[in-house]
Amino acid sequence: MEGPKVIFVSAEATPFIKVGGLADVAGSLPRALRRQGVDVRLILPRYATVSPRQFGLERLAAIPVPVGTGETRVHLLGGEVEGLPVYMIWDDQYFSAREKVYGFNDDAQRFAFFARAVIAALDYLPWKPDLIHANDWHAAPIVAWLRYYGRRGDDFFARVASLFTIHNIAYQGLCGRLILTFARMQELPHLEVEPPGQVNWMAQGIANADIVNTVSPTYAREILEPEAGAGLHTLLRRRHEEGSLYGILNGLDTELWNPATDSALPQTFDLHSRHLRRVNKAALQREIGLPVRDNVPLLGTVTRLDALKGLDILLPALERLLAEGEGQFVILGTGQPDYEAQLRALQERFPQQVRALIKFDERMARRIYGAVDLFLMPSRFEPCGLGQMIAMRYGALPLVRATGGLADTVIDADASPEKGTGFVFRPYTPEALLDALQRALRAYAARERWDTLQVRAMERDFSWARSARAYADLYEQTLHLVGKGG
Ligand code: ADP
């Protein structure tokens, strides 16, 4: 390959392990970049649920990782998975014995360890990257190390560029400064935005990468303000003023997400056979035990149950809508126990209209995308959001709040009758959401209009090609900064 060599560092990636959108991006962007001639390789931890053999990954080497006062040995695994060279760090303590990706007390230590292991692996590998593409706070220690250690002491690392991508600014990896002893980075300067005695890895990634980007143009602007910036807006403004902060909309893997070939769907369909969706709607209603009715609007969402996802306005808005006897609602999600309980209570109050499926289930997610009429994403913040793009491709109209990537991908059908692809509201209130829901239901009742909107939504092109080109350009620009541009 002619293009630059890039190591793509992520805590999660499909098809290995997925918690949210980061996994979708890490699974598909590197492949799209390879199609453009960029030699991207992926590196991630090996978790307990991932079978190296299943993916044909082999042990390449045992590598010593310098942490604390000693060294810990890990195995470096490698192989090619669906055309993408992949490396995994197999350790005994922090990842390989754990089934979850996040949510442990020692997460900061786990990912500091991962970062040190990636650095050790790069030193060891015969393939040498020109650029490290670090994603979210889990990979940020690499970027900080590169600036304050790697570039000072080593010929190879002195010429490696770094790009840091913010997938969600809300998760920052805040921890005590003792972590720096463990990570052997005691000299890392304390940042103004960090509380005394603490390290904020997200902030360290933003402050120390050559270039920073996030996953939609609107989110790149929003995080310059205090509310969306989650404490880091002053730092982000500095990077923005230097011309080092970008927004590139995520794409969608249109092979993985294709209603014409999706084996999870009872009935596959495409734009021209979209009327067949009703088979999926009936099948879903039957499967989850809701009355099988074609002409009742079926609302749905697939989401992590997190405050950022807008559940605080969704629950009261739905209560009011459902109390009027309108529509059915299905939600698939896991997360905060209080939301899980509230959703179960909603189902109990409206047993003929609501199903709360509290689990992570990729197959069910696909059946929901392929069956519901309206897909709800009333997020408080949404860096990019994949659900609305998948929904459109699967012929479900999105109803979204105008924030982040949702604002960049959905056009309101009432505000732009000629271009609309869904429904958009702005104030973060149950009333504004309810108003949008009622507008959507009016459109649903006018079948021809709904069909026109559905065609437009399904015709939208969200494939990765355009975004991958933008990333390839950003890589070039980043490489120029270390004197390596093509
Ligand atoms: P985030 O990354 O904040 O979770 P995104 O919209 O970018 O939000 O991506 C969410 C992805 O995770 C989508 O592909 C969605 O279908 C999937 N997902 C979320 N919750 C579940 C669940 N409970 N079961 C299956 N898939 C889920």
**Cα 333 to averaged position of ligand 1 atoms, centre (Å):** 8
* Domain boundaries of the chain, sorted by first residue: 5-251+465-483, 271-461
pLDDT at 325: 84
Residue closest via CA to ligand 1's atom 22 equals 360
pLDDT at 140: 98
Token couple for 175: 């921890």
Residues with CB under 6 A from ligand 1: 20-22, 24, 302-304, 332-334, 360-362, 365, 384-387
pLDDT at 102: 93
pLDDT at 486: 59
The CATH class that applies to domain 5-251+465-483 reads alpha beta
**Cα 468 to averaged position of ligand 1 atoms, centre (Å):** 21
Q: Which run of H or E residues covers position 452?
A: helix 447-459
List, for the chain, all residue ranges whose pLDDT scores fall below the cut of 50.
Answer: none
Residue type, 142: I
Cα 9 to Cα 156, 159, 194, 319, distances in angstroms: 18, 18, 24, 42
- Dihedral, 247, 147, 6, 8 alpha carbons, nearest 10: -70
- Pocket residue to mutate for ligand 1, from 256, 303, 389, most atoms within 8 A of Cβ: 303
pLDDT at 148: 96
pLDDT at 20: 85
Q: What is the pTM for the complete model shown?
A: 0.93
Q: In terms of residues, how long is the chain?
A: 486
Cis amide leading into 15 (omega within 30): yes
pLDDT at 1: 78
CATH of 271-461, one of 3.30.460.10, 3.40.50.2000, 3.10.130.10, 2.90.10.10: 3.40.50.2000
pLDDT at 216: 97
Residue 412 DSSP symbol = B
- Pocket residue to mutate for ligand 1, from 22, 136, 254, 302, most atoms within 8 A of Cβ: 302
Q: Which run of H or E residues covers position 285?
A: helix 277-288
**Equal fold, 5-251+465-483 vs 271-461:** yes
